[in-house]
């Protein structure tokens, strides 16, 4: 399987829409979270520059961008672990546990990103408030998908 972060967006969407099981909803949720983090990083980074190089905003932007990368890495793990689950022998619960861990990791990333956004929201310039709103909304969407996936696993 091609690494998700190296695919074009169109290729990723085609892969999700294809007649094979992975990547699927878990990978899509992770990419959604990466987009959320990208929106937040932009708002934080530009605001830092407009505020004369605000170190706290710049550091938050760097951390949120790292969360975006971690979410993309999580998309790859989710796709690989879901494929492994489909090919697992009866009684082999390792792939299921790995997939659950992937889901929990994504939820933790979403929570951390929203905490950073909320912590620095008041310092973001007004013209970028929409980017922060998008970041929060997209992270909630990713979380909702992932919670559904985890609930289906039991």
pLDDT digits (tens, 9 = 90+) for 51-106: 999 999 999 999 999 999 999 999 999 999 999 998 999 999 999 999 999 999 99
Tokens (6 digits) for 89: 């022998």
End-to-end, the C-alpha distance of the chain in Å comes to 27
What backbone phi and psi angles, to 5 degrees, belong to 124? -80, 135
Q: What's the rounded Cα separation, in Å, for the pair 34 and 65?
A: 8
User: Which pTM value belongs to this model?
Assistant: 0.93
pLDDT digits (tens, 9 = 90+) for 105-146: 999 999 999 999 999 999 999 999 999 999 999 999 999 999
CA distances in angstroms from 100 to 12, 16, 96, listed in the order given: 22, 20, 6
Is a pLDDT exceeding 70 seen at residue 1? Answer: no
């Amino acid at each position: 399987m091609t690494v998700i972060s190296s695919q074009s967006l169109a290729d990723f969407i085609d892969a999700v829409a294809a007649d094979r099981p992975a990547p699927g909803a878990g990978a899509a949720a992770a990419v959604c979270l990466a987009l959320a983090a990208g929106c937040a990083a932009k708002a934080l980074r530009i605001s830092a520059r407009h505020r004369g190089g605000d170190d706290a905003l710049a550091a938050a932007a760097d951390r949120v961008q790292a969360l975006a990368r971690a979410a993309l890495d999580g998309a790859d793990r989710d796709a690989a672990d879901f494929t492994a689950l489909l090919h697992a022998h009866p009684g082999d619960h390792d792939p299921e546990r790995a997939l659950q861990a992937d889901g929990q990791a994504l939820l933790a990333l979403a929570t951390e990103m929203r905490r950073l956004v909320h912590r620095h929201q008041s310092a973001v310039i007004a013209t970028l408030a929409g980017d922060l709103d998008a970041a929060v909304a997209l992270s909630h969407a990713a979380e909702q998908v992932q919670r559904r996936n985890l609930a289906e696993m039991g």
